[in-house]
């Protein structure tokens, strides 16, 4: 693009042909007032606030929709520009209620700020103002549409970013209203961003309503660690509590957006079941106690129950911090046990699927073809899905291989249904097709496989693409062949010259992998610990109901009287009390400093936003003290950053052995079950975030079965399948029950 030269407020600047005046003004630090313009959205030019004077043009021009031209002389604050801006401001305020004192947006309101500078103190308008009745749009967003100035940022956000057109401008003229068609709740998983883009108080955070004024709060830069992205956020705190979470710009990670999960999960921190004080169980009775007593009780119980060190099992959820993983494995290994694991929800732990991703988040959006395997990407990794959506807007195609058809917010090309037990075979057929197409030798074990048209198309699309990516999602975790699937995908990627995005390592799994938080030699893994004589457990942030792939097996072990369980947990619900012998209250998300390693392999550290409630302590401190009492060496830390330094300097112990490939006989006659949590039930804190649970996504509760499979299982529509209502549906693969629910895994 050619560079052009022009003048803005007397300053000679250069820009590319086609740049808008406002983008250059922003670059040059010149403040042009605006409401409808947003750097990430299309230009609407309907608020008219950004009018500026362009020499030679009789009327003031909107800076957002006027492209710069060579030799242009622009004035953003001469009399003509100022009077145009003031006139627009007066119009915008005609119907605005000016209820700033009771408005949550007050203090951070673009309208308020601009009105301070461009508004007059007395309005000439003395007629009645219009009032818009609120319909309500769900549990997350509070609407006060009388305050709306019809900038349509939320409408454009829905159409352009969220990919679900939900808000719209109905009516005409003075009767225009911004509203959704349905009132039962906004469906998008990114809906909270509408709050951020709204320049006035029309859309505000519902859980935050009337909680605090913005100027009373402290903003702390931190990281959301529910998913692989590690979105950059601010927690806004007031009197030691997190009151709100808002997005923080980071072009490489989350751009300007965050998912609703990251935005509203903080509510879980204030749940009534928070563990506030150390507790010990003596003679089957719980008693609150001091940290000293609880720690001594924990260590003596641990020592008493483990004749040899090998009888200790150490488990953590996939959302712990790098520091916690590091210290816990150090404690376990110092104690003499290699029974360490975080892969609680994986069915195949043989070597584990640790296939590494070799594409970055930013590169995702320039891909031209994506093959999505085993993922409902939109709900599981909203920000990664957003990158893929951007790629599709630039012409990328998407194929999927899933247990069920899902509702993506972009066009998918070919959607192949494949039950879990047939997925490996499906991928092997695709591999064979690729071998045939690239004229490479078909390995012997594939020779007998047949390849059908759709598999050929998948192979063709991968070969035809210049920058393809294969995405492996978290549904693979419940597959007993997940290591094999990962290794076949590696081979497919190598042949098709495709990048790999392994999203089955969710949460902060990459931190766990980094410090080797899994058995390295002959240690027991998250399944064999329950079958092979483990007498004491040290658990970090583990939810007994939800986290284990086989909760019954786990419960049987934990409930056993001669098994001693130390729970470091933020919550003490019934099941935790039943299964534990000591509860050490754990500071939760945003209450502890730590590090998250994201999809790009970037370690993002954060400090604590608030102190944990009651006596709760950060996990790394608790483990350090436990190690001190055990008199282990190497725990002389005074700060979590020292722990992070040590953890990050570990050489990555990634034993990425390829599995020997062969055709496995899978038992097709059995019906496979995939139990997928709703995105708002994936970890302890989201499950306890009330507003999220009240959204359409949070209320997901269906066991999808095809008619044939339902007949086989003797189920009909509306029956309960392990507590989840059956929905007979032909969008799910034969021989598979796809349970999508907020309820805990049963059976």
Partner 1 sequence: MISDQAKKEIDFWVTKYPEGRQSSAVMQALTIVQNENGGSLTGELIQEVADHLQMPTISVQEVATFYENYNHKPVGKHIIRFCHNISCMLNGSDELISYLEEKLEVKTGEVSKDGLVSVKKVECLGACVGGPMCQIGDQYHEHLTPSKLDNILDNLK
Determine the Cα–Cα distance for residues 728 and 426; give it in Å rounded to an integer.
24
- Could you write out the DSSP letters of every residue in 587-637? --TTSS-EEEE-TTS-EEEE--SSPPSTT-B-HHHHHHHHHHHTT-SS---
CB of 165 to partner 1, least distance (A): 4
Nearer Cβ to partner 1 (155/349): 155
Nearer Cβ to partner 1 (128/175): 175
Nearer Cβ to partner 1 (13/165): 165
- Could you write out the DSSP letters of every residue in 27-81? HTT-----SS--TTS-----S-TTEEEETT-SS-EETTTPBP-TT-EEESSSHHH
List of residues 6+ apart from 43 with CB closer than 8 A: 20, 37, 64, 65
Bridge partners, residue 584, by sequence: 568
CB of 402 to partner 1, least distance (A): 22
CB of 186 to partner 1, least distance (A): 11
CB of 168 to partner 1, least distance (A): 4
Nearer Cβ to partner 1 (182/494): 182
Nearer Cβ to partner 1 (105/397): 397
Nearer Cβ to partner 1 (159/449): 159
Nearer Cβ to partner 1 (152/455): 152
Please give the C-alpha separations between residue 242 and each of 104, 157, 162, 426, in angstroms, as whole numbers: 16, 27, 26, 47
Binding site for partner 1 (CB under 8 A): 159, 164-172, 180-182
Question: Reduced to 3 states, what is the DSSP secondary structure of residue 421?
Answer: helix
Closest of 737, 744, 721, 742 to residue 679, by C-alpha: 742
Nearer Cβ to partner 1 (181/210): 181
CB of 175 to partner 1, least distance (A): 8
Supply the DSSP symbol for 250.
Answer: B
Nearer Cβ to partner 1 (182/252): 182
Indicate the helix (H) or strand (E) that contains 537. Answer: strand 536-540
CB of 253 to partner 1, least distance (A): 29
Number of other CB atoms surrounding residue 649 within 10 Å: 7
CB of 377 to partner 1, least distance (A): 21
| Strands, E assignment, 255-391 | 279-282, 285-288, 312-316, 340-341, 369-373
Nearer Cβ to partner 1 (138/613): 138
First to last CA, the chain: 61
Q: Regarding beta strands 312-316 and 340-341, do their DSSP bridges make them parallel or antiparallel, or are they unpaired?
A: parallel
List of residues 6+ apart from 48 with CB closer than 8 A: 62, 88, 91
Closest of 590, 571, 570 to residue 241, by C-alpha: 590
CB of 170 to partner 1, least distance (A): 4
CB of 415 to partner 1, least distance (A): 17
CB of 653 to partner 1, least distance (A): 49
Nearer Cβ to partner 1 (136/171): 171
Longest Cα separation, the chain? 90
Name residue, tokens 């070969």. 463
Determine the Cα–Cα distance for residues 105 and 540; give it in Å rounded to an integer.
38
List of residues 6+ apart from 366 with CB closer than 8 A: 391, 394, 467
CB of 189 to partner 1, least distance (A): 17
């Amino acid at each position: 693009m050619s560079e052009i030269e022009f003048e803005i407020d007397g300053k000679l600047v250069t820009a590319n042909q086609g740049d808008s005046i406002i983008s250059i003004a922003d670059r040059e630090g010149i403040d042009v007032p605006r409401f409808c313009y947003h750097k990430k959205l299309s230009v609407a030019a309907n608020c008219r606030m950004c009018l500026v004077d362009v020499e030679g043009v009789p009327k003031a021009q909107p800076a957002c929709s006027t492209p710069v031209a060579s030799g242009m002389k622009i004035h953003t604050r001469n009399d003509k520009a100022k009077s145009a801006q003031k006139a627009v401001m007066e119009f915008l305020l005609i119907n605005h209620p000016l209820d700033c004192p009771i408005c949550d947006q007050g203090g951070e309101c673009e309208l308020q700020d601009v009105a301070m500078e461009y508004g007059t103190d007395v309005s000439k308008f003395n007629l009645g103002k219009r009032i818009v009745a609120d319909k309500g749009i769900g549990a997350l967003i509070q609407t006060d549409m009388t305050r709306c100035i019809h900038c349509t940022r939320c409408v454009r956000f829905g159409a352009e970013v969220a990919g679900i057109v939900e808000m719209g401008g109905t009516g005409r003229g003075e009767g225009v209203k911004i509203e959704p068609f349905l009132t039962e709740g906004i469906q998008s998983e990114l809906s909270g961003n509408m709050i951020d883009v709204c320049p006035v108080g029309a859309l505000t955070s519902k859980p935050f309503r009337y909680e605090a004024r913005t100027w009373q709060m402290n903003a702390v830069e931190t990281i959301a660690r529910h998913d692989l992205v590690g979105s950059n956020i601010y927690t806004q705190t007031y009197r030691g509590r997190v009151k709100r979470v808002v997005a923080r710009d980071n072009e490489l990670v989350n751009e300007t957006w965050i998912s609703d999960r990251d935005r509203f999960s903080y509510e879980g921190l204030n749940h009534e079941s928070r563990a506030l004080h150390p507790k010990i169980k003596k003679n089957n009775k719980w008693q609150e106690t001091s940290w000293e007593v609880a720690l001594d009780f924990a260590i003596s119980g641990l020592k008493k129950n483990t004749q040899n060190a090998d009888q200790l099992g150490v488990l953590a959820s996939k959302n712990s911090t790098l520091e916690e993983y590091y210290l816990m494995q150090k404690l376990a290994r110092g104690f003499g046990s290699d029974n360490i694991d975080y892969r609680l929800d994986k069915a195949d732990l043989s070597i584990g699927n640790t296939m590494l991703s070799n594409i970055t988040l930013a590169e995702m959006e320039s891909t031209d073809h994506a093959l999505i395997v085993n993922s409902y990407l939109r709900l599981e990794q909203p920000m990664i899905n957003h990158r893929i959506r951007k790629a599709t807007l630039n012409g990328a195609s998407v194929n999927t291989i899933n247990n069920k058809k899902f509702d993506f917010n972009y066009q998918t090309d070919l959607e192949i249904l494949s039950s879990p037990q047939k997925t490996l075979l499906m991928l092997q057929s695709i591999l064979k097709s690729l071998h045939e197409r690239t004229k490479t030798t078909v390995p012997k074990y594939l020779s007998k496989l047949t390849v059908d048209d759709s598999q050929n198309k998948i192979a063709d699309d991968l070969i035809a693409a210049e920058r393809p990516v294969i995405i492996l999602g978290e549904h693979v975790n419940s597959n007993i062949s997940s290591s094999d699937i990962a290794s076949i995908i590696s081979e497919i990627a190598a042949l098709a010259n495709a990048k790999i995005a392994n999203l089955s390592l969710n949460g902060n799994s990459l931190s766990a992998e980094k410090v080797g938080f899994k058995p390295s030699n002959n240690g027991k893994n998250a399944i064999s610990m329950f079958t092979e004589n483990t007498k004491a457990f040290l658990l970090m942030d583990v939810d007994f109901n939800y986290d284990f792939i086989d909760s019954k097996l786990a419960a049987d072990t934990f409930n056993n009287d001669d098994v001693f369980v130390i729970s470091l947990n933020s919550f003490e619900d019934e099941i935790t009390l039943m299964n534990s012998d000591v509860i050490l209250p754990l500071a939760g998300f945003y209450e502890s400093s730590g590090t998250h390693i994201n999809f790009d392999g970037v370690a993002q550290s954060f400090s604590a936003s608030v102190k944990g409630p009651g006596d709760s302590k950060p996990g790394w401190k608790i483990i350090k003290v436990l190690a001190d009492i055990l008199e282990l060496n190497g725990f002389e830390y005074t700060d979590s950053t020292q722990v992070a330094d040590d953890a990050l300097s570990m050489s990555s112990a990634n034993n990425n052995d390829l599995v020997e490939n062969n055709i496995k006989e899978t038992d097709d006659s059995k019906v496979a079950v995939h139990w997928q949590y709703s995105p708002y039930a994936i970890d302890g804190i989201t499950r306890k975030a009330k507003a999220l649970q009240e959204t359409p996504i949070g209320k997901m509760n269906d066991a999808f079965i095809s008619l044939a499979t339902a007949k086989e299982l003797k189920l009909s529509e509306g029956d309960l399948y392990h507590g989840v209502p059956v929905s007979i549906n032909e969008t799910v693969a034969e021989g598979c029950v796809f349970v999508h629910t907020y309820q805990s895994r049963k059976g």
